[in-house]
Amino acid sequence: MNEILYLVIPCYNEQEVLPETSKRLKAKLGGMIAAGTVSPQSRVLFVDDGSRDTTWQLISELHERDPLFSGLKLSHNQGHQNALVAGLTVAKDLCDIAISMDADLQDDVDAVDRFVAEYQAGSDIVYGVRSSRKKDTLFKRTTAVGYYRFLRWMGVEIVQNHADYRLMSRRALEALSQYGEVNLFLRGIVPLIGFRTSVVAYERSERFAGESKYPLKKMLSFAVDGITSFSVKPIRLITTLGVLIFAVSVLCLLWLLVTKLFGHTVEGWTTLMGSVWALGGIQLLCLGILGEYIGKIYKEVKHRPRFVIDQLLND
């Protein structure tokens, strides 16, 4: 019996790209159903993350015209990662395998066949990995490579050049549902699940239409979440920094005592002020890092729901 496949697509203000996205996904999924690769019960599940435009109206119209399309509407904007988890949570009880991808058509739709082939070969999780970053700007390419290296140095298990284009089997989705943290960083959580994994390389395209939902400010926030959600190394670095500063302070004290004994004392206003500003800056930085972790603890202990479902359209 062919597996039921759900394509889970988080959407936030995607009215410009949704008509083309639905057209391509229908052609792909319909072709796979006709070829007998997946079950006729397979669906495209659009997750509306509290959009302010006509995204949900378009999803509703697609569902009315064709049961191949399903819709999930969240009651409030919860962010990309929460919307994705909401879609995967709903799909978990309806499908055998789920593939998550973005709505902007940057992820190669034609790679879906290879994802399913890897699953049929025995993989529970299949990662979509960019084959190159030639289309990125020099700044984005450099920062992306540096970020992945920095995460691994911090001890975070992550797949290089992988975003959220991935396949997960039902048992992998069941395992994912056991991770209840509010501070979501799926690129770090999914590798922790284990099971057999494989990689599918694909060429990432330009966004088909509309504007990116991840400007620089959100990208930086997402990067910080990735580090602080999976590594306590920054806190340990603060301890190391404190030890180093203490050691340097002792050396400076010895140097001052030696110069005083030999009568070579010199007024050191510049050195003094520089030291004060440097230590003050370091202290504020350390407080900021500690505050980031405390803020995450604050969010976790409240146990607020990650999402609330408003409507579900599914036959």
> Over the stretch 173-190, which tens digit does the pLDDT of each residue have?
999 988 888 777 888 888
Q: Which domains does the chain have, with CATH numbers?
A: 5-230+304-313 (3.90.550.10)
Instruction: Encode pLDDT of 267-312 as tens digits.
Output: 665 566 556 666 766 776 777 777 777 777 777 777 777 878 888 8
- Residue 57: band (very low, low, confident or very high) from pLDDT cuts 50, 70, 90: very high
- Residue 265: band (very low, low, confident or very high) from pLDDT cuts 50, 70, 90: low
pLDDT higher than 70, residue 264: no
Which is higher by pLDDT, 183 or 110?
110
pLDDT higher than 70, residue 103: yes
Q: Mean pLDDT for the chain?
A: 81
| Range 240-250 average pLDDT | 71
Cβ-contact 70, 44 below 8 angstroms: yes
| Range 124-148 average pLDDT | 77
Which residues, 6+ apart, have CB-to-CB distance to 112 below 8 Å?
7, 28, 29, 32, 99
Cβ-contact 14, 21 below 8 angstroms: yes
- Residue 210: band (very low, low, confident or very high) from pLDDT cuts 50, 70, 90: low
Cβ-contact 222, 163 below 8 angstroms: no
* Full-model pTM: 0.74
